[in-house]
C-alpha cells in the first residue's frame, strides 16, 4: 500500500510538473509538436489531414472553453469569431497580398475587437437570453459575410494562398500540420496560463455565482468582456489555422451547426478543462473516421453522448483541475500562513495607504464611517425603504434589527450598490458611493456576507477567500499571460494571507476542500473570511447566526469582537436579540421601511414603538400576550 | 457549469490521472491501428480472373443535400451492378468506396484523402463545389488521380486547365445564357425579376444571368433579391415582384423552395410568369403544385435530367433505378451514372493500364452516348456540347415545350 | 395601401404559427426560466407523426376533417408522451442548472432532428392536398387564401382557449402563480411538480397542433423545419413578454409581420438576421417585453 502511495505521489508530482510545462509557451508548443511529429511519422497523408482537423476543432473548443468553460457564458454563436478570424486572415493574404504570418496578429486583434462588440450587449443578460443573442450574432455575422462581395459573398474566397515565410512554403499536409501544431500549442499555453491566474479564478467565480462575485469585489462585467476578447482572439487563431490549410473558405464553413459542434466538444471534454477539451476534440474528429459506419450517425451519436455526459458525468471526460492550482503556487505543499496579526491593536494598513507611503491609519473611534442619508427604495408601487438615515461609526458594531420584511436586506443592497436607491445618498468615509457598481463599492472598503451563504462552490475554500481580495492586486489580463512569475508570486502571497485569515477563523484545515463539504457554521466562517480578505473598512453581516447552536453563536460573538478590535466596523443584521444586544454598541430598528428607533441596545429594546413593531399593536402596553 | 456532482480534489486525482493515461494510450493505439490497418473493402468484391477495379465515389451523403448524395450513390450502385452482371471489365469486377463530403470543405478534404488512402484508381462524383474544389487539390497532389466530376458545375473546377478532370454536367455559365435567351426570345419578357437564395450556386447563376441580360439589352431587370432557403412562406417576395411590375419571375435556387413558391404563386393568382432555373427541376414541384406546374405561364429551363430524357436509354435507366432503390431517380443521379459509364469506357480501352497518367489521357478521349446525351470533352475537360430544355408539367410529369441545342437557338418541341 | 394590407395579411398567417409555438413556450418558460431548444423540433416531430397517419395508414383515406382530427390527436399524443418522458428523465433534474439544461435541450433538439432524418430520409415529405382550396378569394381587395382563414381562425380559437385556461381555471391560475414565485406557490399547497408537468404537456400539445397545421398549410415538411422556428418563436415570446399569454400572441404576430415586411420591402437575405436584431434591441431597451413579464424578479 505504501508503494501505491508513493506511486500516487510521484504521479501527482509528475502531473504537476506537466501542467507547469504546459503552462509555458515552449512546453505547450513542444508538446503539440511532438504529437504532430508522431502523426507525421506514421506517414499517412489521410491521417495527417485528420490531425489538422483535430487541431482546428481543438483550437476553437479551447476558445469556447474560455468563454463557456471558465466564465460560464453560454455562447452559442462561437463560429462568428472563427469566421471573422478566418476571413480577416484570408482578406489580408488574398486581397491585400500580405504574408500569412503577418495576418495572424491582425486577425487576432480584429476578432478580439469583435469580441467586445458581440460581448458587450450580452454582459448583463441571463444565461438563456445570452444563448439566444449569441445565436443571433452568429447568424448576423454569417449573413453579413454571405452578402459582402468583397469577400466573394456566398462563393467565398478561392483560392487561398499557401503560408510562406523566408522561402519556406507550407504546402504539404505535413508542413501544415506542424504549423497548426505550433499555433495550437500557443493557444494551449495561453489558456492554461489564464486558467491558473487570478483572472481564471475570477472567471470561475463569475461562472459559479456572478452576483456574489460582483458584490465580493470582482469587476464581473469587465471579466466577462475579457472572456469574450480572449475567446475571440483564440477563435481567430483557429480561423488562421483553417485558412492556412484550406483551399477555399465560404460562409457555409461558419454555420450555427459549427458552433453547436464546438459546444459539444467543450461539454464532452469538460468545462474548464484543457486536457479534456483536447481529448474530446480528438475523439470528435477521429471516431467517425475510424468507425466509418457511424459517419451518417455522427451528429446523433454525439448529441446522445452530450446528453449522457451532462447527466452522468457533468464534469466532462477529464474534469477541470480543482483549485487552487498548485501549478500557480511555489512548488510543494501549501505555504505556511503569514504570521497572524495581533488579536487586538491598530488596524493593519490597507494596501493602498501603505503604497502611498502614508503612516498607518489610526483608528478614530466614534466618527461616522458610513453615512446613509434619506435613502428611499421603491419597486414599482411598493416602497421598501422610506427615508432611512443612519450612521455606522468607526470601530463600532451597529446592530440592524426589525421584523421580517422590514427592509433590512434591501437597505444593505442599497448600500452595497446592488440596487440604486430611488432617493437618498450613501457615503463611505466621505466618498459618495450611491448607486455605484457593487465591485467598486467593495473596492472602496465595504464587504458583506449574505443571508443564504453564497460561497463559490466550484472553488476551494482557500480560493474563495483569495477571491475576496481580487481588487487589491491591480493585475490585469496582460499580466496573467505575459508575466507568469509575477502572477505566481502574487498568488502565493495572496494564498498566504488567505491562510492567515482562515487560521484566524479556525477553519484553516478546510483550506483545500469545497464549501459544500463543510458544516454550516464553518461555511459561515469561510464567508466571513472572504469578506475580510479585502481588508474592508466596513463589514456587513446579514444574519450570520442563523442556524447556529449556542456554542457557535458565542464563538461568533468572540469573532466579531476580534474583528472590530482589528479595526473593521461592523453592520450586523440579526434576529437573535440576546446576541445582537450583547455584541452591538448601538442598535437601529427598521419597520416597514422606516427607521423607527436607534440608540443603545437597552434603550431601543425597551422602546414601546419597537416592541409594538415586533409583537403587534398594544403589545407594549400589556406585556406578552 | 454548476453541476449536481463534482469530483473532490486531493487523493482522488491520482486515479483520474491513471485513467487519463489509459485513455490516451487507448486513443494512441486506436489511431495507430487505424492508420496502419484500415483497408477494408466497401461493397461486395469477388474477383474472377483478376483484382477488382476500385473506384472512389465522392458524394454528400450527410448534410444539407444528402438526398442528392443518396441519389448519386444509388445511381452508382446501378451502374456497378449492371457492369458486374455483364462480367465486369475484361473479367474484372468493379468495386466502389463511398466517401462522404457532407457538402463542406473540411469534410471534403478528409473524404478525398480517405479515397487516396484506399488507393482507388479513379474518383467519380462531386456535388457541392465547396467540397469538390478542395478535393481536387488533394487528388492533384496525389499524382493527378483521375476525377470524373459528375454534378459540380462551378467553372473553377475546370477553368485552371487541369489534366485529371472531366466533367459530365454542364457549367454554371452554360445555364445562364440559355435562360437569358429564353427570356428574351421565347417568353419575350420585358421586365424580369431575378431571385436567388443566397447559396453559392444560385447566386452565381443569377449574377451571370443578370450580366448577360444587361448585355442583351432586354428584358429590363426590375428586381434582384434573395429569399431564405428552408422557409416556407414566399408570399412577401411574390407580392414584391408584382409590385415592381415584372412580367416574369426567374428563380435560380433549388427545388425544395421552388415547390412552395410555385404553389403560392398559383394560389394567389399572380399575373406574371414563373421561370425556374435548372436546379428547380424535381417531381416534388409537381407534387406540391400540380396546377401551377401545368399552367402555361410556368416553365423551367433545365439540363435534360433523368425524367426528361427521352428515348430507350432513359426509360431503361428510370426503370432500373426504381427497381434498385424503390424511388424515382432524383435530378442528378443520372449524371453520376453517365460518369461511371465514361470511366468504364476509359478502362475498357486499356484494361491493364490503371495508372493515373494513361487513365487521364483516355478519359479525355472518351466518346460515349450516355443517358444525358452524347458525351465528349473539350480541352478543359468540359462537355463540348450541352443542350437545354424548357419544360412544364403535362399529365403530372415534366415534358419539354421548347429546346435549344448548344450552338442554336430556341425551337419548339423536344430534342 | 393595398400592397401594405396584402403584406400584412401574409404576415398575420406566419405570425399565427409563431404565436402558437410561442404560446407553448411561454408558459413553461415562465415557470422554469430556461429556454427549451428542443421545442421547435417537437413541432417537427408532430408534423411527421401526422404525416405518417395520413400518408401511411387508412386514415389517409378518410375525408379531410376527420382525417386531420385523428392525425392531430395522434400527433398530440406522440409529442406529449415524448415531452413528458424527456421531462422526467432529462429536464427535471437539471432545472436548477441553467447551463446543463440548455445544453441538454440543445442536444435533444439535434437528436430528434437526426432521428427523424435517419428514419424518414433527408428529402422533404408532402402532406396530402385534400383539395383544400388553395385558390384565393378577394376580400376587401386583398387576396386571401381559404387556408389562411383556417389558420388564423384556428389559431385564434386556441389562443382564446389558452387565455381562458390561464385566467379562469384553477390550474391555469396556479401556473401563473408558480411563474411568479415558486416558493410562495409551494407554500400555498400548489403541487409544483404536477403543474410543471402540465405546463410541459400543454406546451407539447400546442407544438403538435402547430406541426400538423403547418403540414397541411405548407404541405412540405422536413427534418430541419423545427429548430429555426423554435428560435423565432422564442424571440416572439420575449418580444411580447415572457410568461405572458397575451404577450406571446402579440409577439408572434409582430414577428411574423416583421419578417414579411423585411422580405417585402428590404431584402430577403436579411429577414432572419433582422428578427434576431429585433430580439437584441428588445432585450436591450425593454427587457420585459411589450406587455411585460409575468415572472419572478431575479435577485
Mean pLDDT throughout B83-108? 88
Report how far residue B124's alpha carbon sits from residue A208's, in angstroms, rounded to the nearest whole number: 54
* C285 interfacial to chain A (CB closer than 8 Å): no
A460 in contact with B at a CB cutoff of 8 Å? Answer: yes
Q: Is A610 a domain residue? A: yes
Q: Which of A226, A255, A284 finishes a domain? A: A255
Put simply, whether A127 touches C (Cβ < 8 Å) is: yes
pLDDT of C188 over the 60 cut: yes
- What is the reported pLDDT for B76? 96
Residue A158 is predicted with a pLDDT of 75
Question: Closest residue of A to C297, CA-based?
Answer: A379
Q: Is residue B84 part of a domain?
A: yes
**Arithmetic mean of pLDDT, B83-102:** 91
Domain contains B154: yes
CATH code assigned at B321: 3.40.50.2300
Highest mean pLDDT, choosing among A91-95, A286-290, A606-610, B74-78: B74-78
Give per-residue pLDDT as tens, C125-160.
Answer: 888 876 555 566 676 666 677 778 888 899 999 989
Residue A508 belongs to some domain of the structure? no
Domain count of the fold of chain A:
2
Residues B362 and B288 grouped into a single domain: no
Q: Provide the shortest C-alpha distance from residue B393 to chain A (in Å).
A: 32
Q: Is residue A381 part of a domain?
A: yes
C297 contacts on A by Cβ (under 8 Å)? 379
Mean pLDDT value across residues B78-102 = 91
Whether residues B72 and B124 fall in one domain? yes
pLDDT at A620: 64
Closest residue in A to C280 (Cα) is A133
Q: Do A373 and A245 belong together in one domain?
A: no
Within a domain: A523: no
Q: Does A165 touch chain C (CB under 8 A)?
A: no
The per-residue pLDDT for A571 is: 94
Looking at the partner chain, which of B2, B3, B239 has a beta carbon nearest the beta carbon of C264? B239
Q: Is C274 on the interface with B (CB under 8 A)?
A: no
A512–B142 C-beta distance less than 8 A:
no
C-alpha cell of B98?
463511398
Task: Look at residue B251 in the predicted model and tell me its pLDDT.
Answer: 96
C102 and A74 in contact by Cβ < 8 A? Answer: yes
SS3 B295: coil
Question: What is the ipTM score, two decimals?
Answer: 0.88
Asked, for residue B237, whether it belongs to a domain, the answer is: yes
Is B226's Cβ below 8 Å from some Cβ in C?
A: yes
C261: contact with B, CB 8 A cutoff: yes
Q: Do residues B284 and B177 both lie within one domain?
A: yes
pLDDT of residue A473: 57
Q: How far is C97 from chain B, CA to nearest CA, in Å?
A: 6
Statement to judge: residues B341 and B265 lie in one domain: no
The CA distance from A22 to B115, in Å, is 36
Instruction: Tell me what pLDDT residue A324 has.
Output: 55
Query: Strand pairing of B388-394 and B298-302?
Result: antiparallel
Q: Look at A443-457, B74-88, B202-216, C231-245 and tell me which has the smallest mean pLDDT.
A: C231-245
Cβ of residue A308 closer than 8 Å to a chain C Cβ: no
- pLDDT band, residue A199 (cuts 50/70/90): confident
pLDDT at A351: 37
pLDDT digits (tens, 9 = 90+) for B129-174: 878 988 998 898 888 999 999 999 888 889 888 999 999 988 877 8
- Report yes or no on A334 lying in a domain: no
Measure the CA–CA gap between A89 and A70, rounded to whole angstroms. Answer: 27
Domain-embedded: residue A302? no
This prediction's pTM = 0.83
Q: Say if residue B58 is in the same domain as residue B158.
A: yes
In a domain, A72, yes or no: yes
DSSP state at residue A359: P
CATH code for position A382 = 3.40.50.300
* CATH class (in words) of the domain with range C2-285: mainly alpha
pLDDT at A421: 92
Nearest-angstrom CA–CA distance, A203 and A195: 9
Is the residue at B332 inside a domain? yes
Residue B22, domain member (yes or no): no
Q: With cut-offs at 50, 70 and 90, classify the pLDDT of residue A95.
A: confident
Q: How confident is the model at residue C99 (pLDDT cuts 50, 70, 90)?
A: confident
Report CB contact under 8 Å: B133, A247.
yes
Interface of C with A in 36-95 (CB under 8 A): 90, 93-94
| Residue finishing a domain among A232, A255, A278 | A255
Residue A334 has pLDDT above 60, yes or no: no
- Regarding whether B240 and B133 lie in a shared domain, the answer is no
Nearest CA in chain A to B14: A8
Question: In this complex, do C102 and A267 lie within 8 Å of one another by their Cβ atoms?
Answer: no
Domain boundary among A215, A239, A255: A255
Tens-digit pLDDT profile for residues C73-98 = 999 999 999 999 999 999 988 888 88
Nearest-CA distance C206 → chain A (Å) = 22
Residues of A in contact with C106 (CB under 8 A): 76, 260, 263
Answer yes or no: is pLDDT of A98 > 80.
yes
What digits encode the pLDDT tens for the residues B258-306?
A: 988 998 898 888 899 999 998 888 888 888 888 899 999 999 998 777 6
Strands A594-599 and A586-591: antiparallel
* Yes or no, beta carbons of C106 and A263 under 8 Å apart: yes
Q: What would the DSSP string read from start to end of chain C?
A: -HHHHHHHHHHHHHHHHHHHHHHHHHHHHHHH----TTHHHHHHHHHHHHHHHHHHSGGGGS-HHHHHHHHHHHHHHHHHHHHHHHIIIIIHHHTT-HHHHHHHHHHHHHHHHHHHHHHH-SS-EE---TT----EEEETTEEEEHHHHHHHHHHHHHHHHHHHHHHHSHHHHHHHHHHH-HHHHHHTT--HHHHHHHHHHHHHHHHHHHHHHHHHHH-EE-TTSHHHHHHHHHHHHHHH-TT-HHHHHHHHHHHHHHHHHIIIII-GGGHHHHHHHHHHHHHHH-TT-SS---SPPP-
Owning domain of residue A135: 21-255
In b/e form, how buried is each residue of A102-126, taking b as 16+ CB within 10 angstroms? ebbeebbebbbebbeebbebbbebe
**pLDDT value at position A88?**
93
Q: Is the pLDDT of residue A331 over 70?
A: no
Q: What residue numbers bound the domain in which B221 lies?
A: 173-302+388-412
Average pLDDT, chain A: 83
Residue A330, pLDDT score: 43
Amino acid at each position: 500500500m505504501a508503494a501505491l502511495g508513493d506511486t500516487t505521489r510521484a504521479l501527482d508530482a509528475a502531473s504537476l510538473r506537466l501542467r507547469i510545462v504546459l503552462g509555458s509557451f515552449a512546453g505547450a508548443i513542444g508538446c503539440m509538436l511532438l504529437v504532430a511529429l508522431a502523426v507525421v511519422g506514421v506517414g499517412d497523408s489521410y491521417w495527417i489531414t485528420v490531425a489538422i482537423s483535430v487541431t482546428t476543432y481543438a483550437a476553437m473548443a479551447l476558445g469556447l472553453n474560455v468563454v463557456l468553460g471558465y466564465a460560464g457564458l453560454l455562447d452559442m454563436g462561437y463560429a462568428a469569431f472563427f469566421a471573422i478570424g478566418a476571413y480577416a486572415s484570408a482578406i489580408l493574404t488574398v486581397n491585400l497580398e500580405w504574408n500569412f504570418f503577418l495576418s495572424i496578429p491582425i486577425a487576432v486583434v480584429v476578432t478580439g475587437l469583435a469580441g467586445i462588440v458581440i460581448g458587450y450587449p450580452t454582459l448583463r443578460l441571463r444565461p438563456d437570453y445570452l444563448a439566444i443573442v449569441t445565436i443571433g450574432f452568429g447568424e448576423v455575422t454569417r449573413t453579413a459575410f454571405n452578402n459582402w462581395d468583397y469577400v466573394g459573398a456566398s462563393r467565398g474566397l478561392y483560392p487561398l494562398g499557401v503560408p510562406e515565410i523566408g522561402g519556406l512554403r507550407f504546402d504539404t499536409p505535413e508542413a501544415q500540420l506542424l504549423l497548426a501544431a505550433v499555433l495550437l500549442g500557443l493557444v494551449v499555453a495561453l489558456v492554461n496560463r489564464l486558467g491558473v491566474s487570478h483572472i481564471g479564478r475570477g472567471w470561475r467565480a463569475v461562472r459559479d455565482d456572478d452576483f456574489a462575485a460582483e458584490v465580493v469585489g470582482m469587476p464581473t462585467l469587465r471579466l466577462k468582456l475579457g472572456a469574450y476578447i480572449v475567446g475571440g482572439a483564440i477563435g481567430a487563431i483557429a480561423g488562421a489555422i483553417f485558412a492556412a490549410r484550406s483551399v477555399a473558405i465560404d460562409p457555409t464553413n461558419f454555420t450555427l451547426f459549427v458552433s453547436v459542434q464546438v459546444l459539444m466538444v467543450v461539454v464532452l471534454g469538460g468545462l474548464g478543462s484543457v486536457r479534456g477539451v483536447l481529448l474530446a476534440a480528438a475523439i470528435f474528429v477521429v471516431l467517425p473516421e475510424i468507425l466509418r459506419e457511424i459517419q451518417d450517425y455522427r451528429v446523433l451519436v454525439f448529441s446522445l453522448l452530450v446528453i449522457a455526459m451532462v447527466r452522468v458525468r457533468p464534469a466532462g471526460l477529464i474534469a477541470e483541475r480543482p483549485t487552487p492550482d498548485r501549478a500557480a503556487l511555489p512548488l510543494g505543499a501549501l505555504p505556511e500562513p503569514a504570521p497572524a496579526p495581533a488579536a487586538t491593536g491598530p488596524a493593519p494598513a490597507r494596501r493602498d495607504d501603505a503604497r502611498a507611503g502614508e503612516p498607518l491609519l489610526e483608528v478614530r473611534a466614534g466618527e461616522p464611517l458610513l453615512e446613509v442619508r434619506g435613502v428611499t427604495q421603491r419597486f414599482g408601487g411598493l416602497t421598501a425603504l422610506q427615508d432611512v438615515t443612519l450612521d455606522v461609526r468607526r470601530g463600532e458594531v451597529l446592530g440592524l434589527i426589525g421584523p421580517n420584511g422590514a427592509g433590512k436586506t434591501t437597505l444593505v443592497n442599497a448600500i452595497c450598490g446592488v440596487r440604486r436607491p430611488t432617493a437618498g445618498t450613501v457615503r463611505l468615509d466621505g466618498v459618495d458611493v450611491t448607486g455605484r457598481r457593487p465591485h467598486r463599492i467593495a473596492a472602496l472598503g465595504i464587504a458583506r456576507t449574505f443571508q443564504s451563504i453564497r460561497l463559490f462552490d466550484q472553488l476551494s475554500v482557500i480560493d474563495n477567500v483569495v477571491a475576496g481580495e481580487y481588487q487589491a492586486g491591480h493585475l490585469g489580463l496582460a499580466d496573467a499571460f505575459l508575466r507568469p512569475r509575477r502572477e505566481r508570486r502574487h498568488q502565493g502571497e495572496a494564498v498566504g494571507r488567505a491562510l492567515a485569515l482562515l487560521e484566524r477563523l479556525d477553519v484553516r484545515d478546510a483550506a483545500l476542500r469545497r464549501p459544500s463539504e463543510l458544516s454550516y457554521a464553518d461555511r459561515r466562517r469561510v464567508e466571513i473570511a472572504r469578506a475580510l480578505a479585502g481588508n474592508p473598512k466596513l463589514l456587513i453581516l446579514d444574519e450570520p447566526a442563523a442556524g447556529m447552536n449556542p456554542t457557535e453563536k458565542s464563538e461568533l460573538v468572540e469573532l466579531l469582537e476580534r474583528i472590530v478590535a482589528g479595526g473593521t466596523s461592523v453592520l450586523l443584521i440579526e434576529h437573535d436579540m440576546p446576541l445582537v444586544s450583547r455584541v452591538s454598541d448601538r442598535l437601529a430598528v427598521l419597520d416597514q421601511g422606516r427607521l423607527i428607533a436607534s440608540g443603545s441596545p437597552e434603550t431601543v429594546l425597551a422602546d414601546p414603538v419597537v416592541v409594538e413593531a415586533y409583537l403587534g399593536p398594544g403589545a407594549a402596553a400589556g406585556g406578552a400576550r | 457549469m454548476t453541476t449536481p456532482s463534482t469530483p473532490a480534489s486531493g487523493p482522488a486525482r491520482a486515479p483520474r490521472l491513471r485513467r487519463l493515461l489509459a485513455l490516451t494510450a487507448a486513443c494512441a493505439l486506436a489511431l495507430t491501428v487505424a492508420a496502419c490497418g484500415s483497408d477494408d473493402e466497401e461493397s461486395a468484391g469477388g474477383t474472377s480472373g483478376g483484382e477488382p477495379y476500385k473506384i472512389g465515389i465522392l458524394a454528400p451523403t450527410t448534410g444539407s443535400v444528402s438526398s442528392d448524395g443518396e441519389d448519386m450513390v444509388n445511381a452508382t450502385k446501378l451502374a456497378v451492378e449492371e457492369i458486374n452482371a455483364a462480367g465486369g471489365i475484361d473479367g474484372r469486377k468493379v468495386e466502389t468506396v463511398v466517401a462522404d463530403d457532407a457538402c463542406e470543405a473540411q469534410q471534403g478534404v478528409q473524404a478525398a484523402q480517405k479515397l487516396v488512402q484506399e488507393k482507388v484508381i479513379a474518383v467519380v462524383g462531386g456535388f457541392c463545389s465547396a467540397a469538390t474544389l478542395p478535393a481536387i487539390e488533394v487528388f492533384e497532389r496525389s499524382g493527378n488521380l483521375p476525377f470524373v466530376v459528375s454534378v459540380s458545375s462551378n467553372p473553377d473546377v475546370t477553368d485552371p486547365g487541369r489534366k485529371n478532370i472531366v466533367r459530365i454536367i454542364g457549367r454554371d455559365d452554360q445555364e445562364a445564357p440559355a435562360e437569358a435567351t429564353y427570356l428574351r426570345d421565347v417568353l419575350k419578357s420585358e421586365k424580369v425579376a431575378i431571385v436567388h437564395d443566397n447559396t453559392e450556386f444560385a447566386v452565381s447563376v443569377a449574377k451571370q444571368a443578370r450580366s448577360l441580360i444587361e448585355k442583351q439589352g432586354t428584358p429590363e431587370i426590375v428586381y434582384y433579391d434573395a429569399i431564405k432557403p428552408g422557409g416556407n412562406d414566399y408570399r412577401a417576395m411574390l407580392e414584391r415582384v408584382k409590385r415592381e411590375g415584372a412580367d416574369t419571375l426567374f428563380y435560380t435556387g433549388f427545388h425544395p423552395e421552388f415547390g412552395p413558391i410555385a404553389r403560392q404563386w398559383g394560389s394567389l393568382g399572380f399575373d406574371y410568369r414563373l421561370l425556374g432555373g435548372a436546379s428547380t427541376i424535381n417531381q416534388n414541384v409537381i407534387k406540391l403544385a400540380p396546377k401551377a406546374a401545368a399552367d402555361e405561364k410556368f416553365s423551367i429551363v433545365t439540363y435534360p435530367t433523368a425524367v426528361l430524357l427521352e428515348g430507350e436509354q432513359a426509360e431503361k435507366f428510370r426503370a432500373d433505378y426504381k427497381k434498385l432503390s424503390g424511388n424515382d431517380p432524383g435530378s442528378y443521379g443520372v449524371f453520376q451514372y453517365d460518369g461511371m459509364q465514361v470511366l468504364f469506357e476509359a478502362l475498357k480501352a486499356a484494361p491493364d493500364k490503371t495508372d493515373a497518367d494513361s487513365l487521364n489521357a483516355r478519359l479525355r478521349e472518351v466518346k460515349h452516348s450516355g443517358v444525358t446525351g452524347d458525351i465528349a470533352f473539350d480541352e478543359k475537360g468540359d462537355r463540348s456540347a450541352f443542350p437545354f430544355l424548357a419544360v412544364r408539367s403535362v399529365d403530372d410529369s415534366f415534358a419539354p415545350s421548347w429546346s435549344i441545342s448548344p450552338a442554336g437557338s430556341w425551337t419548339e418541341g423536344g430534342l | 395601401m393595398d400592397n401594405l394590407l396584402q403584406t400584412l395579411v401574409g404576415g398575420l398567417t406566419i405570425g399565427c404559427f409563431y404565436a402558437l409555438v410561442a404560446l407553448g413556450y411561454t408558459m413553461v418558460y415562465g415557470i422554469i426560466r430556461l429556454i427549451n431548444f428542443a421545442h421547435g423540433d417537437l413541432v417537427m416531430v408532430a408534423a411527421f407523426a401526422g404525416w405518417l397517419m395520413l400518408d401511411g395508414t387508412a386514415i389517409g383515406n378518410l375525408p379531410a376533417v376527420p382525417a386531420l382530427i385523428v392525425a392531430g390527436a395522434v400527433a398530440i399524443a406522440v409529442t406529449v408522451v415524448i415531452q413528458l418522458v424527456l421531462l422526467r428523465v432529462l429536464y427535471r433534474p437539471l432545472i436548477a442548472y441553467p447551463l446543463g439544461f440548455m445544453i441538454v435541450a440543445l442536444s435533444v433538439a439535434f437528436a430528434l432532428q437526426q432521428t427523424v432524418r435517419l428514419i424518414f430520409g433527408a428529402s422533404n415529405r408532402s402532406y396530402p392536398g385534400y383539395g383544400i382550396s388553395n385558390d384565393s378569394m378577394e376580400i376587401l381587395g386583398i387576396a386571401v387564401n381559404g387556408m389562411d382563414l383556417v389558420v388564423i381562425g384556428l389559431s385564434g380559437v386556441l389562443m382564446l382557449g389558452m387565455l381562458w385556461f390561464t385566467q379562469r381555471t384553477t390550474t391555469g391560475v396556479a401556473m401563473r402563480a408558480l411563474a411568479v414565485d415558486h416558493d410562495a406557490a409551494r407554500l400555498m399547497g400548489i403541487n409544483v411538480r404536477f403543474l410543471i408537468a402540465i405546463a410541459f404537456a400543454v406546451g407539447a400539445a400546442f407544438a403538435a397542433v402547430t406541426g400538423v397545421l403547418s403540414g397541411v398549410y405548407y404541405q412540405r415538411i422536413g427534418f430541419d423545419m423545427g429548430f429555426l422556428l423554435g428560435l423565432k418563436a422564442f424571440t416572439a415570446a420575449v418580444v411580447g413578454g415572457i410568461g405572458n399569454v397575451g404577450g406571446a400572441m402579440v409577439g408572434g404576430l409582430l414577428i411574423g409581420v416583421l419578417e414579411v415586411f423585411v422580405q417585402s420591402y428590404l431584402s430577403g437575405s436579411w429577414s432572419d438576421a433582422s428578427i434576431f436584431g429585433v430580439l437584441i434591441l428588445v432585450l436591450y431597451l425593454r427587457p420585459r417585453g411589450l406587455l411585460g413579464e409575468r415572472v419572478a424578479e431575479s435577485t
